[in-house]
């Protein structure tokens, strides 16, 4: 089930029993992060519902960063670009259909945002002004990952927005800008 705005609405006071050591660990981490235990627990629960549960149900698996980096480094640029063009858009479409039962352009962007919301290696900022979009992807996976991200950004704009994006690629950032024209029926 989709969970948009799961963190909105009226707060409810609820008591949970947790082992003393877990509470101590939560207090230490909250203090280290400069936040409250309540805010930390809320962020953990939100991550479970907004990402962990859905990711597990939709086929995601975790691998260590060093394994991912080795796989990426082992691919030539054309292979990475092909994965970006052919695999990534299909993957986002499947996720949007699973999470929202809708793969419209706006739901694709929601899915991209959700995917990177909890990622320690990749972040995305998507802005929209009128019919112009900008998506900035930042990552910690090296310049070869940017090859894949660039191809994926181009194909996502083309496939779902029918727009030709202007894309710039750096070692750890890819920026895609595109304008959407009126839809033709």
In a domain, 117, yes or no: yes
Residue ranges in the chain modelled with pLDDT below 50: 1-3, 185
**Same structural domain for residues 150 and 96?**
yes
User: What is the reported pLDDT for 3?
Assistant: 47
Residue among 60, 59, 15 at smallest CA distance from 38: 15
3-state secondary structure of 104: coil
Residues 12 and 83 in one domain: no
Query: What integer pLDDT is reported at residue 183 of this predicted model?
Result: 57
pTM of the complete model? 0.77
Domain span at 53: 1-62
The alpha-helical segments, DSSP class H, found in 118-142 are none
Among 39, 62, 85, identify where a domain stops.
62
pLDDT, residue 92, reads 94
Instruction: Give Cα separations from 10 to 27, 46, 55, 120 (angstroms).
Output: 25, 15, 27, 29
Q: Note whether residue 185 is domain-resident.
A: no
Q: What is the CATH number of the domain that holds 129?
A: 3.90.1520.10
161 and 90 both lie in a single domain: yes
Say if residue 77 is in the same domain as residue 126.
Answer: yes
Same domain, yes or no: 30 and 71: no
For residue range 91-131, list pLDDT tens digits in order: 999 999 988 999 999 999 999 998 888 888 899 999 999 99
Pair (85, 3) in one structural domain: no
**Does 106 share its domain with 165?**
yes
């Amino acid at each position: 089930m989709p969970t948009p705005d799961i963190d909105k609405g009226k707060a409810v006071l609820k008591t949970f029993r947790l082992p003393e050591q877990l509470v101590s660990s939560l207090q230490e981490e909250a203090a280290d992060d400069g936040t409250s235990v309540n805010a930390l627990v809320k962020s953990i629960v939100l991550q479970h519902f907004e990402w962990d549960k859905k990711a597990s149900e939709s086929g995601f698996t975790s691998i260590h960063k060093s394994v991912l980096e080795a796989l990426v480094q082992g691919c030539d640029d054309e292979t990475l670009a092909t994965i970006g063009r052919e695999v990534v858009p299909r993957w986002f479409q499947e996720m949007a259909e699973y999470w929202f039962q809708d793969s419209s352009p706006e739901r694709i962007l929601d899915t991209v945002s959700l995917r990177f919301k909890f990622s320690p290696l990749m972040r995305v900022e998507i802005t929209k002004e009128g019919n112009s979009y900008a998506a900035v992807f930042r990552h910690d996976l090296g310049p070869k990952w940017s090859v894949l991200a660039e191809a994926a950004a181009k194909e996502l704009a083309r496939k779902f927005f029918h727009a030709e994006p202007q894309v710039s690629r750096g070692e750890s950032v890819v920026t895609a800008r595109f304008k959407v024209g009126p839809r033709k029926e």
